[in-house]
Each structure stands twice: as C-alpha cells, then as structure tokens.
Structure 1
Amino acid sequence: MSAKKQPARRKQADRREESRERILDAAEELLAGRGYDGVTMREIGKAAGADTSLVHYYFDNKAGLFNAVIARRAGVVNDAREAALDAYAAAHKGNMTAQGVLRAYLEPTFSFMMSGEPGYLNYGALIAKLNSTAMGGDVDTTHTPFDPVVERLVNLLNEVRPEVSRADLYWYYHFVSGAISLSLAQTGRIDVLSGGLCRSDDFATILDRMVRVLGQGFEALAT
C-alpha cells in the first residue's frame, strides 16, 4: 500500500518545488528591474501565477523571499569562484600577480553573464542593487553569501603583496566591487557617453579592461 502512495507523494513534492521555483524566477525578474521597495508580494505572486498566501507560505515575508532569491544562485557562483581561485593559486604558487588573482575571481561571474541566460542577467542586476543599496528593514545588506569568497580574494591579494595593510586590501576590494556592481547593472550609460564605442553588455571587454586597469592599480597601493 505504501509503495503505491510513494509516487504520488513525489509528484506532489515536485509540484511544490516547481511552484516555488516559479515564484523565485518571478521575484528575481521583478526585483532586478524595480528594486526591493518597488515590488509587492502580491505582484510577485501574480507574475508567478500563484496566490499571495502561497508566496507567504513558502517565504514568510518579502525579506525572506529576497534572501531566498539571492541564496538560490549564490552557491553556484561561489563554487565557480572558489574553484577558479584555487586552480590559479595552485598553478602559480609563489608567483601570483594581482591581475591573475583578479581574473580568477572575476571570470566566473562574467561567464555567467556572457551566457545570456535571462535568469543570470536578472540575478546580476539584482546583485548590483544588493551591493549598492542600503535597503533597511529586514534585509541585511552588510552580509551576503559571497563574503567567504571575498575573504579568499583578499587573502590571495595579501599573498601577492604582504606589505600592504589589511585596511588597504579591503579598500581595494571596495573599489573592485563598485566596478563589478556598475557592470552587472547594465545601465547603458557608457553606451551613450561613448557614442557607441563601448557597450554595457560587452562583458568580455569589461572583464579584460577590469583585470588590466584594476590589476595595475593594485600596484599603486601604499606600503
């Protein structure tokens, strides 16, 4: 008797997971485009084809939903960054450069964006908002799932130049994070300013220029 009921339970679990993913997809797109304060739970539920009560059932409140959206892809991004940093550190032990460390850190992120997958494009825009907006309320923007990988980046840069103060290493990351956030936001401003010479969706060029400019800028840090 129990063996007959098991497939039905699995199907019900699958339906719940599909419903949850639809809500996360809808929230990701709406939050990326309109920001945390510009979207309601009711609007997210409507976009996902789900009743608002179901959205509350899965995520409790908007802050819980926002955190779930951020966490959903964070593991994939973190794993890719960690693997790239580990591979670079192992291959260049005792001979690392700031440009090499930066490329290992940045390339996975921009590879996701270069895939053109709408989910990752929305996620990139949402991370840009998370990095540059003090949202207040129940959302803590001072801590993110990416913090351990940031520490790994800072530690590797410290190995490149042990004489640089820890404070300057964090300031350096602050500037790197700003460049990443502006690039992920794809505002189109550089397209207009450059008269079409530069495109905010040209992630391959953005990656190349960021590595070269910010990598060389690392050498300017005071000892």
Structure 2
Amino acid sequence: MATNAKRTNIKRREESREKILDAAERLFAQGGFNGVSTKQIAQAGEFDASLMHYYFENKEGLFRAVIERRAESVNRIRLESLKRYSDDAGERITVEGVLRAYLEPTFAYVMAGGNSFKDYLSIIAHVNSTPAAIIPGFETSPFDPAVREFLSMIGRAAPDRTEAEIFWFYHMLSGAITLTWARTGRIDALSEGLCRSDDLESACREMIAVFADGLSRGRR
C-alpha cells in the first residue's frame, strides 16, 4: 500500500509540474520572458503561485524548464538524423543533404505536436531574437550540441568555404528559422494570402532550397 501511495504522489507531482509548464508555455509564447508575470501564469493555469515557486524557485527557473522540456527531444531528433545522413552519404555529403537532415525532422516533430509545440516555437523565436543578457541563464543555448554538429557537417559538405563563412551561413539560416517560428503573418499580408506563415511544410521546403543554393554557389 505504501508503495502504491508513493507512486500516486509521484504521479500527482508530475502532473502538477506539467500543468504549470503547459500554462507557462502558452503565456511565454504570447509575451516572451519579460512580458509575462508569475502571477499571470498562476491565474491562467488555475493553480497557486506558491506551487510554481516550489517546483521552479522563480520565473527564470520556470522559463528554463519550459525550454528544456522539449529541447532534449529536438536535439535527439536532429542528432540522430544528422548521424544517419552522414553514415549513408559518406564522402558524398552535400549542403542540401545536411540541411534536409537538420530541418525536416524538426519541422515534422513540431507539426505532429499540435498547438502546444507551435507555442514552443514562438518562445524559441523570442529567445533567438533577444540579447542573451536580458534572459537570465541563456548565455548559451540548450540546442548548441545539435547546432555544432550541423556546422561541422556543413563544413565537410562545403570544404572551400572558410570557417567564418560557415558561421555567417548559420547566422542567416537561424534568422530564417526564427522568423518562421514566430509566424508573424507578414508573408500572408505581402503575398495577399498566396503564402501562409503557418504553412510550416512549405517554409521548410523553401528554406532548404534557398540556403542549399546560397552556400553551394561560387564566390563572387
């Protein structure tokens, strides 16, 4: 009986923690780190603010937990896909192939996850476009392990490019990813509905095409 009660308590704590993370994810997606208070999160999730402080200590801890909850899965998916492509391609590795291995599984993961995963994308867009010092604890990104492997493989696929060019390439790609994750509706208005910012499948396809060509072309 004691063991069952312990398991029930553990499950209850896990459920409470997930409920807090779900509410925080929704609100951080709308307002970013600085645009949301712990009081607002507690009210939205219908739980006592003291419970949030019990699990996460403060807003910084809660924000980190929201990011890290899905970051591990995203990193794993990316790293597994990159390794699979590297093993299959061998010396025939290409920039387009690396981009596909890096981007397609991430987009597929998000599209399969529904609205909560899209909220997560909005938070990542906030993080990517905010100076690191403004968000405590985010001097480095939890996605860096997968990003560094991606950069290493891009370097192999484009050996004629300098290290600086590879980093600038990622800088520009990261900007495209961030704008796509933000789903601002800008492209909807510009194209008069021809393109939609929530069409992640098309965004992924076009991103691969543009950036594969951009790095593969000869120097000016």
Letter in 2 for 1:108: P
The correspondence for 1:105, drawn from 98, 102, 105, is 102
- The match for 1:157 is 154
Query: Structure 2: which 5+ runs fail to align?
Result: none
Identify if the C-alpha distance between structure 1 residues 175 and 137 changes in structure 2 by more than 3 Å, giving closer, same or farther: closer
- The match for 1:170 is 167
**1-structure distance, mates of 2:28, 2:43:** 14
Please tell me whether the aligned partners of residues 36 and 135 of structure 1 are also in contact (alpha carbons under 8 angstroms).
no
Identify if the C-alpha distance between structure 1 residues 220 and 142 changes in structure 2 by more than 3 Å, giving closer, same or farther: farther
The correspondence for 1:48, drawn from 25, 35, 45, is 45
Identity of aligned residues (%): 45
**1-structure distance, mates of 2:176, 2:118:** 16
Other structure's SS at 1:92 match = helix
- Residue 63 of structure 1 and its aligned partner are, at CA, apart by 0.6
Q: Does 1:118 align with 2:112?
A: no
**2-structure distance, mates of 1:85, 1:215:** 16
**1-structure distance, mates of 2:157, 2:134:** 39
- The match for 1:93 is 90
**2-structure distance, mates of 1:28, 1:70:** 9
- The match for 2:8 is 11
How many pairs are equivalent?
220
Please tell me whether the aligned partners of residues 60 and 137 of structure 2 are also in contact (alpha carbons under 8 angstroms).
no
**2-structure distance, mates of 1:137, 1:84:** 33
**1-structure distance, mates of 2:72, 2:58:** 22
Task: After superposition, give the CA deviation of every residue in 1:58-95 in whole Å (9 maximum; x if it has no partner).
Answer: 10111110000000001111111111111111111000
Identify if the C-alpha distance between structure 1 residues 197 and 43 changes in structure 2 by more than 3 Å, giving closer, same or farther: same
After the TM superposition, which segments of 4 or more aligned residues of structure 1 sit over 6 Å from their partners?
none
- Residue 114 of structure 1 and its aligned partner are, at CA, apart by 2.1
**1-structure distance, mates of 2:122, 2:66:** 12
- Residue 43 of structure 1 and its aligned partner are, at CA, apart by 1.2
TM-score where L is the length of structure 1: 0.94
- Residue 37 of structure 1 and its aligned partner are, at CA, apart by 1.0
**2-structure distance, mates of 1:91, 1:182:** 31
The correspondence for 2:62, drawn from 61, 65, 71, is 65
Please tell me whether the aligned partners of residues 64 and 137 of structure 2 are also in contact (alpha carbons under 8 angstroms).
no
Other structure's SS at 1:55 match = helix
**2-structure distance, mates of 1:129, 1:176:** 16
The correspondence for 2:187, drawn from 174, 187, 190, is 190
Identify if the C-alpha distance between structure 1 residues 83 and 132 changes in structure 2 by more than 3 Å, giving closer, same or farther: same
Please tell me whether the aligned partners of residues 164 and 222 of structure 1 are also in contact (alpha carbons under 8 angstroms).
no
Query: Structure 1: which 5+ runs fail to align?
Result: none
